[in-house]
Amino acid sequence: MGMFTREDLMLAKSVDLKAVAASLGYTVKRIGSLYTIAEMDSIRIYPDSHWYRWSGKSSTGITGGSQIDFMMEFAGMDIGEAVSYLLDFSGYKKVSVHEKNSFVYQERKEKKLFFLPSSMSNNLRITKYLTEERGLSEDTVKWFIDRKLIYESEPYHNVVFVGYDKEGVARFASMRGIYDHDGKAFKCDVAGNDKRFAFHVEADHSDTVLVFEAAIDLMSYFEMNDRPKVHMIALGMTADNPLRQYLKDHGEIRSIGFRLDNDEPGRNASFKLAEKYMRLGYRTDITFSPDGCKDYNDVIRKLKSEKTKSDSRRRR
């Protein structure tokens, strides 16, 4: 919490919670002087204080609180992500004021334009990274490159993952560095992107979408299952804004399979989202990577390592 001031927290807690809930894909309804959401009608939103109460059980133990608590409970965010989201949602940004070394908030006047990062003339380094470090085959990497879903950025050789809208226009991009420093990788979303959209693979004549957290997990599952003929989307987080948009754009989808990470945040988000979309009339299922593997990229790297060891033994 050291990165946020008291004023930050006060502003985050002043955001209209009804609007925030709607932005996350929930349907807000009025009940007398209070509000609820159609997907979980035990929730009560108080319009004056902006607090909510949930009379049902929660796996996290949260039964009520501020807008920050709401984001943690229903969007799967940690406290830092929740405060940042709410400050951004409020339409304000923090700027330095030299007098008295203090800060003020100014209304955000301009939205950053979205531009894809410049590309290298080839994709040699990201191909090497994705095959040697992440266990993917060259055929899989080429499949995604050929469809302009990934490419190598210039000048830093990052992997760029691109998300398109239904018209084929790039609306989202994230980057992942190919060089880790002290076990930490460079990761970021490209400025100005539209977080309603995400990295995804479309499928003709399918009524099913599989949902992942990370793009590399999607690619790993794609390879392990021989390019399944279903829709696949990587949220880039555990909040479901991109899934809501994708379902709006693909009305034929009736079944949602959650393949989020096999860790506590991923499991909690899977169960919450499966319940939410089941209430909305979708068929839902949950499958996690095997124990000992946090995600599907862990699985494919483990399989590749075992194959390499087996091949080495046979050559002796």
Average pLDDT, the chain: 84
| Element containing residue 69 per DSSP (H, E) | helix 67-74
Residue 101 pLDDT exceeds 50? no
Q: What is the pLDDT of residues 175-203, one digit of tens each?
A: 999 987 666 678 888 888 898 999 999 99
At residue 91, does pLDDT exceed 80?
A: no
pLDDT at 158 over 90: yes
**Fold designation for 124-309:** Dna Topoisomerase Vi A Subunit; Chain: A, domain 2 (3.40.1360)
Determine whether domain 6-107 maps to CATH 3.90.580.10: yes
> What is the pTM assigned to this prediction?
0.68
The first and second tokens of residue 307, run together, are 């194959």
122-144 pLDDT tens trace: 999 999 999 999 999 999 999 99
The listed range with the strongest mean pLDDT (3-12, 56-65, 96-105, 227-236) is 227-236
Retrieve residue 14's tokens.
Answer: 């002043």
pLDDT at 272 over 50: yes
pLDDT for 53-68, tens place per residue? 555 545 555 667 788 8
Q: What is the pLDDT of residue 77?
A: 75
- Report CA-CA distances (Å) from 147 to 164, 201, 249: 11, 10, 20
pLDDT, tens digit (0-9, with 9 covering 90-100), for 292-309: 999 999 999 999 888 777
Distance between first and last Cα of the chain: 56
pLDDT above 90 for 48: no
User: Is residue 243 within a helix (H) or strand (E), and if so which, with residue range?
Assistant: helix 241-249
pLDDT score for 104? 45
Helix (H) or strand (E) segment spanning residue 251: none
In the chain, domain spans: 6-107, 124-309
Mean pLDDT of 18-29: 76
